[in-house]
Amino acid sequence: MAGGDIGGIFGWMLLPPFAAKCTLIAFHWILRRFSPHLVPHPNTPKHAQHQRLSYIFVILLYLGYTLWSTEKGLAPNYYAMFGLDPGSYAPQQLRSSFRRLSLVLHPDKNPGSEGLFIHVQGAYKVLADPIMRFVYDRAGEAAVACTSCKSTGDFILASLPRRLGVYLVYMLGSIGVQVFGIGVYGTYWRYLAIACFLALDVLMMTRLTEPAVIRVLHWVMPRRTSFEIAQVLQQVMMCFFIALNQIGPHFIPREKNVSTVVLAKELLVGLEVTDKEIVGRGRRIVDMYKGTGLESELTTDFGAEMKLGMTMGTSKSFRTEYTERMNDERQKTVKPAPQQ
């Protein structure tokens, strides 16, 4: 992962809570100057609603900034090198731009520019070939580096392991954060988004016409290829789900889930204690009937009946306690009605 991606992740983890708090303070300060009676008191439902709205505002603003900064952070593509628009240019424009750059960057006239001159030659070779240009637009620069590929299918098949590997990393990362209890909000939508982007990648690489979402975004980023637009969307998707886990606790409290886990642990402890108690009682009963010839029958039949009865009793008492505690927690989470 690039340093910019790591910086973006830490930015999403640290900035939204602080920015939302500052936004709320500024909004209330302005509101007091014009309509002081509209400023809610802390620890009221109205104040909580303002907090949520400030988070939504910050998240949308930061998503827009991420889209802009990601697009600006991409390296210039082959079209930008020749000053061309990816959507519309004539072949003679490409040839004239290549000749002009070749004269400027030729090693005989500009010593030390051999690497850049070779790069320009490679870019011209890609854009002048319809097959390689299609692959470059849909799969990026790495896909056209295949020296043994001849047809579009060859290039696409050669780039599949690398492209699918990206989504494998997304899946493993998503499972990892879920296992450690980090990505608990929006799990369903996260996996759905990964599947949608995988389908989008497959459509981009296999269809002659671009998907509708890519054609729409070409209006926003006219100088970028379809592959670059898909990269920007993937970055925005990743940042969005990080943001969702930032604002999730403010919309979906986790206390109910935590209480359920705690009660389940108490059930396990209670069953373990019950099991030990049953064994002790069984042994005492067997000692009472020693020498009567009924030891074997008591150990099998009576011991099993006692264990079953006490376990059912413990489960019933746990179920009653669980219901009572969950009702108490529901009452705690119910927001009081605003006073008239």
Which of the listed residues 250, 280, 311 is the one where a domain comes to its end? 250
Asked if residue 71 has pLDDT above 50, the reply is: yes
Residues 231 and 172 both lie in one domain: yes
Mean pLDDT of the chain: 75
Residues 69 and 92 both lie in one domain: no
The answer to whether residue 262 is domain-embedded is yes
Q: Where are the alpha helices (DSSP H) in the chain?
A: 3-34, 45-73, 78-82, 91-105, 114-128, 130-139, 152-179, 187-206, 212-220, 226-251, 255-288, 295-297, 303-333
Asked if residue 257 has pLDDT above 60, the reply is: no
Asked if residue 322 has pLDDT above 70, the reply is: no
- How many domains, the chain? 3
pLDDT at position 259 is 47
Which of the listed residues 187, 219, 250 is the one where a domain comes to its end? 250
Asked if residue 209 has pLDDT above 60, the reply is: yes
The answer to whether residue 62 is domain-embedded is yes
| Spatial contact of 162 and 135, defined as CB atoms under 8 Å apart | no
Residues 309 and 234 both lie in one domain: no
Weakest mean pLDDT among 42-46, 142-146, 332-336 = 332-336
Residues 132 and 228 both lie in one domain: yes
> What is the share, in percent, of the chain residues with pLDDT greater than 70?
66
The answer to whether residue 339 is domain-embedded is no
pLDDT at position 256 is 44
| Domain range for 296 | 255-333
Q: pTM to 2 decimals?
A: 0.59
Per residue in 307-318, pLDDT (tens digit) is 555 554 555 555
